[in-house]
Amino acid sequence: MRNAHSQESLRPALIAAFTKLAPQHMLRNPVMAVVWAGTLLAAAATLAGLAAPGFGMAVTAILLITVLFGNFAEAVAESRGRGQAASLRRARQDLMARRIDAAGGEARVPAAELRPGDQVLVEAGELVPADGEIEQGLASINEAAVTGESAPVLREAGTDRSGVIGGTLVLSDRIVVRVTAEPGHSFLDRMIALVEGSSRQKTPNEIALGLLLMVMTLTFAIVVATLPFIGGFVGVEVNPVLLVALLVCLIPTTIGGLLPANGIAGMNRALQANVLAKSGKAVEVAGDIDVLLLDKTGTITHGDRQATAFHALPGVGLPQLREAALLASLADPTPEGKSVVKLAGLALEAPAGAQFVPFSAQTRMSGVDLPGGRVIRKGALAAMAAHVRALGGQVPVALEQRVADIARTGATPLVVSDGRQLLGVIALSDVVKHGIRERFAQLRAMGIKTVMITGDNPLTAAHIAAEAGVDDYIAEARPEDKLARIRAEQAEGRLVAMVGDGTNDAPALAQADIGLAMNSGTQAAKEAGNMVDLDSDPAKLLAVVEIGKQQLITRGALTTFSLANDVSKYFAILPALFAVAIPQMAALNVMQLSSPSSAVLSALVFNAVIIPLLIPLALRGVRFRAAGATALLRRNMLVYGLGGLLLPFIAIKLIDLLLSTLFHL
Please identify every residue annotated as catalytic: 295
The response to whether 360 counts as a known ligand-binding position is yes
Q: Report which DSSP code applies to 20.
A: T
The response to whether 216 counts as a known ligand-binding position is no
The response to whether 366 counts as a known ligand-binding position is yes
Cβ pair 300, 432 in contact under 8 A: yes
The response to whether 365 counts as a known ligand-binding position is yes
The response to whether 336 counts as a known ligand-binding position is yes
Measured distance CA(426)–CA(409) in Å, rounded: 13
The response to whether 362 counts as a known ligand-binding position is yes
Measured distance CA(560)–CA(641) in Å, rounded: 6
Query: What is the 3 state secondary structure string of 489-516?
Result: HHHCCCCEEEEECCHHHHHHHHHCCEEE
Exposure pattern of 584-609 as b/e (b: 16+ CB <10 Å)? Answer: ebeebbebebbebbbbbbbbbbbbbb
DSSP 299-340: IIB-S--EEEEEEEPTT--HHHHHHHHHHHHTT--SHHHHHH
- Residues facing 163 on adjacent strands: 133
Measured distance CA(268)–CA(79) in Å, rounded: 10
For 501-651, where are the E strands, in sequence order?
514-518, 531-533
Cβ pair 427, 420 in contact under 8 A: no
SS3 176: strand
Measured distance CA(314)–CA(335) in Å, rounded: 29
The response to whether 501 counts as a known ligand-binding position is yes
Name the phi and psi angles at 249, rounded to 5: -75, -25
Measured distance CA(198)–CA(190) in Å, rounded: 10
Q: In what order do the strands lie in the sheet with 412-418?
A: 306-312, 421-429, 412-418, 374-379, 365-370, 355-357
SS3 445: helix
H runs (alpha helix) in 178-317: 187-196, 204-233, 240-250, 253-272, 280-286
The response to whether 363 counts as a known ligand-binding position is yes
Q: Which residues fall in the annotated binding site for ATP?
A: 332, 336, 359-366, 378
Q: Annotated binding site for Mg(2+): which residue ranges?
A: 501, 505
| Residue numbering of the annotated binding site | 332, 336, 359-366, 378, 501, 505
